[in-house]
Structure 1
Amino acid sequence: MEGKIGMPRLMPKLVNQASFWKLFTTVPVVVTAYICHHNILPIENELKDPTQMKSIVRKSLTLCTSVYIATSFFGVVLFGDHTMDDVLSNFDGDLGIPYSSLLDDLVRVSYGLHLMLVFPIVFFSLRLNVDGLLFPYAIPIAFDNKRFFSVTIALMGFILMGASFVPSIWDAFQFTGATAAVCVGFIFPAAITLRNIPGIATKNDRLISWTMIFLAVSTSTVAVTSDIYSIFYVDEGITS
């Protein structure tokens, strides 16, 4: 309203080779934001009417997309070209608006509440799959309190160590998005279709599955390579 906001750039600004490779690091983050496959079956089992699952998935993706678009829009409105990779980092100082410190605190508290609500859902699937990998022939973990607490404590300790030593959540999202998220979102579903145990996959389904695997592996390789390149490029720049 005050005329201080520049026109947003519709195309990325490429300064050097590092900025070009950095384009590929955004794809894994976007992929991670839409990965919910691992929670579908547990949630479906809790529904009285499992046929509602498709509607729930559509509404959830629509809601998430709306939140992402709103966040990106207001991030540009507030910070313009100074918007950081992790927009939360922009709320660490004076925003140049009234009640700036209050807004910073509200953002921190809201993100903390978000993590508290999301983490149990993700951790449930993680614990269940790790237990199945380590103890494939044991009784379900829900009926073994000793194993339940042991696996939980071990995983929580590992996660806490990672959260303490990873300097930026953006770095974590880059690597997990380029590896685990790509596998969960694209490679594993395509592999299940190719295995075709029920015998219902068509020739077109198999072609799409191979295409998904090829694109997923290709983009993952480029993303991981660009992540590593960016890290070494930054380190080299700091050293020089």
Structure 2
Amino acid sequence: MELEKLSNGNSHHDAAAAVEKGAQPEKDAFLPQKSDGSKTPQFTDFEGKTSFGMSVFNLSNAIMGSGILGLSYAMSNTGIVLFLILLTCIACLSCYSVHLLLRSAGVVGIRAYEQLGLRAFGHPGKILAAVIITLHNIGAMSSYLFIVKSELPLVIQAFLGQTSSSDEWFMNGNYLIIIVTVGIIFPLAMMKHLGYLGYTSGFSLSCMVFFLSAVIYKRFNISCPLQAFSNYTLSEATPEEMCTAKLFTINQETAYTIPILAFAFVCHPEVLPIYTELSNPTKRRMQNIGNVSILGMFVMYFLTATFGYLTFYGNTEAELLHTYSKVDPLDILILCVRLAVLVAVTLTVPVVLFPIRRALLQLLFPERPFHWLRHIAIAACLLFVVNMLVILVPNIRDIFGITGATTAPSLIFILPGLFYIRIIPTDLEPMRSRPKILAACFAALGFVFMTMSLTFIVLDWTSGEKQRLGAH
């Protein structure tokens, strides 16, 4: 599917007419599959077939990431109330960011992130948007496959009843990620439309709901302090300190919470592709999908963080499942939860791959029609690169830290705000109008987040104390 070249002939006239009618203008060509040539094709001519529910599943699955495993640790470094305030702010800002993208897309009739960059800043804007999307999603895909590489051998070991690792090939994480990629991820990535992945996205979310249920159950099953479990090493804090929930707390790790939460809500490259395939597409309908998805993830994030924190308090570790395993490595429920998380992250990889492929197609083959060979070849090359990255790089935390600190603020804050300022005509909204001032402040906030995140990463490197910056 390709975007038609935009025609600018009567753009200001159409915009003014739309304002007189009280409607938001939606014009210029987009996927004119139903046009008979008797009228100018509109981007609404594309007949989407994905339902509201399936679109919610896909967008929620795009939001959900491996960062959920570190939210309890983030809460232990902020306190319950401060964490809730930060989580609420990031969720609301993400909804506003989706609003900016949909408004910009509606005015110019474009539903591709890269094409919005082209319309706003010309070819450099298109390249910048495509590069940021590619870097961010490759980092996300790599983080998911790193979980498969590290966790799947342990799950197999537990199911075989082995107490120590062996040299068998099926216990080698490098072999396992190749098998999972070829057998599961690649066939799903060959789907022509993102909407077809709604069923796998729904199953993936079900696995994460099971994870949340286990976290809640374990809160009432594990007592504090944890002396009863010989495999767990207690901190030096007193039992009263370890088993007391903090409402507000500030320490060296608190500054990492905001970039972790911002990274956990990045779904913006998937918003416009999902909008493209939505049945009965309107901006309000797609905004509702975004709001429902973000609200659902907000509830899941907060419940997971809260019950995980209230289980381990001061002993909460950066990776929640690892904390449970240290308490009782033979726990069958936690073993099943680990398997569910593996399934969830595996089924998320194809959803994250779609925006990268779209970005590369927009850069390399902007005028070419859809072709199966090109579609499959790009997916195969991307998965090969990600597999090599996961296999050859022993510690990729620093790479994730840099990409997460730069791409997440860019996709959520900076680019949507700048697109809105540049694309919305001044006769619709002058530069000093409230919406454009808010969009400018929104973009500026992204630069603040980016500067802050990079500053703390550099400070960590220079001090030699590397901390984990949660990955989506």
TM-score normalised to structure 1 length: 0.80
For the residue of structure 2 that corresponds to 1:55, the secondary structure is helix
Native 8 Å contact 2:413 2:445 kept in 1: no
The residue aligned with 2:402 is 175
Deviation for aligned residue 1:172: 6.1
The residue aligned with 2:338 is 108
Q: Superposition pairs for residues 1-240 of structure 1, below 5 Å? A: 4=225, 6-14=243-251, 19=252, 22-51=253-282, 52-95=285-328, 101-133=331-363, 135-140=364-369, 142-145=370-373, 147-164=374-391, 165=393, 167=395, 174-199=401-426, 200-202=428-430, 203-234=433-464
Change (3 A) 1:152 1:8: same
Deviation for aligned residue 1:7: 1.6
| Amino acid in the other structure paired with 2:248 | M
Structure 2 distance, partners of 1:230, 1:182, is 20
Structure 2 distance, partners of 1:229, 1:50, is 46
Count of residue pairs the alignment pairs up:
223
| Amino acid in the other structure paired with 2:371 | F
Native 8 Å contact 1:193 1:201 kept in 2: no
For the residue of structure 2 that corresponds to 1:201, the secondary structure is coil
Structure 1 distance, partners of 2:456, 2:342, is 30
After superposition, give the CA deviation of every residue in 1:102-129 in whole Å (9 maximum; x if it has no partner): 1331221111121123221111011111
Range 122-131 or range 173-182, more displaced:
173-182
Native 8 Å contact 2:414 2:446 kept in 1: yes
Identity %: 23
Structure 1 distance, partners of 2:456, 2:332, is 37
Change (3 A) 1:123 1:69: same
Structure 2 distance, partners of 1:174, 1:205, is 32
Structure 2 distance, partners of 1:116, 1:130, is 22
> Larger % of helix: which?
1
RMSD after superposition: 2.7
Unaligned stretches of 5+ in structure 1?
none
The higher-RCO structure (CA 8 Å, 6+ apart) is: 1
Structure 1 distance, partners of 2:396, 2:320, is 11
Structure 1 distance, partners of 2:323, 2:360, is 36
Unaligned stretches of 5+ in structure 2?
1-219, 226-241, 467-472
